Amino acid sequence: MPVGSQDKVNVAPIDGIRLAAVASQIRYANRLDLVLIEIAQDSTTVGVFTQNAFCAAPVRIAKHRVKHSASRYFLINTGNANAGTGPEGELAAVACCDGLAEIASASSEQILPFSTGVIGEQLPFDKILVALPGLYEALSADAWQSAAQGILTTDTRTKLASASFTVESSQTSISGFAKGSGMIRPNMATMLAYVFTDAKIERPLLDKFIVNAVKNSFNRITVDGDTSTNDCCMLVATGKGSLVITDIDSDASKQFQFELNAVFEQLATGLIRDAEGASKFITIEVNEGASEHECLAVAYAVAESPLVKTAFYASDPNWGRILAAIGRAGLDDVDIESVTLALGDTLLVSKGAVDAGYSESAGQAEMDKEEIRVCINLGRGKASARVWTSDLSNEYVRINADYRS
């Protein structure tokens, strides 16, 4: 079960964006698994992609096309990753784009393919081609929920986020959705995410906006430390609204970045709340580091330790596991007497040992919570970093053991 209740998201439609989802039987019967997003002409599209060397065929195609053509459509399938499929995989992805191009009277180069699902199986592109006419006819400005549903794999619920706000008398909106529950440690990125705004922003600035937003959201989450072959995060500015941003240092730019980061963070933390088998939502804060890099090294050492994660699942205040993970994070010349460790408001460790005021009952009370905050102070500087993660449960093992069944 996901952690926490799911609040209803009132998604603000984005002028210039239409969406649709259908069931094309790619892997499962009668399940939404094929999504189309139509992007208005003269929009600006940027993206960041997985750094996995075995990236999927659609990733290679999309990375090339987003740089060299004006994107008009995103075509997304689930159930099959089209990764590890060799030249046949690229031919299959291109065939799907070609089929849509004919229906939509567009150039195939303007269509970006995306896939998620099982690795190493050839994409059944014939099923996609059959479904394309109905998918195109179903395009609607209001189909955000079905589109968000159509990109899910092992997820148990949709992840949507939206914000409408005023910048210098100009009303603008940002809306998006994402998927991902396992194989999550973005090295940009470990999931699929699609975010849209009606603001007018040219490519160089939009690139800066997405890099900043991803850094503080999707690149700060981990479920299992695995970077997927298929992941991407796309940001589209349709330019259909009244807000125009031309200066990255302007007040308007700073406000827009703040709102964009909030949308990205909501989507990213939504992935952790719905992580495979998760029963805990865990925030790890590392402060007083010599650099952000070493703060992140400590945060990820704790977040990805199987011993730490299983202790969280058991609600066991075994703080020694956390301390051991901090100690092996690779920091030079750590003064252990300067390190403090707390769960929530409960101080566990100070001066290199258990804090004099700590009690097992206080630690247990913190570990019994569904949402847990781990606070680590290194006593080495002024840098800080934050990472979100989940626990490691029997259900995570079951889901991944049975994934191809």
For the chain, how many residues are written? 405
What is the Cα 396 distance to its own chain's centre?
18
- Catalytic residue check, 190: yes
8 A C-beta contact, residue 26 and residue 127: yes
SS3 219: helix
The DSSP bridge pattern shows strands 353-354 and 346-350 to be antiparallel
Asked if residue 140 lies in contact with residue 43, where contact means CB atoms within 8 angstroms, the answer is no
DSSP alpha helices (H): ranges in 151-222? 203-215
In this structure, are strands 170-179 and 159-167 parallel, antiparallel, or unpaired? antiparallel
SS3 293: helix
* 281-289 and 371-377 strand pairing: parallel
| φ, ψ dihedrals at 234, nearest 5° | -115, 140
Active-site residue, selected from the candidate residues 153, 154, 158, 190: 190
For 285, half-sphere exposure in the C-beta direction (CA atoms, 13 angstrom radius) is 12
Catalogue the active-site residues. 190
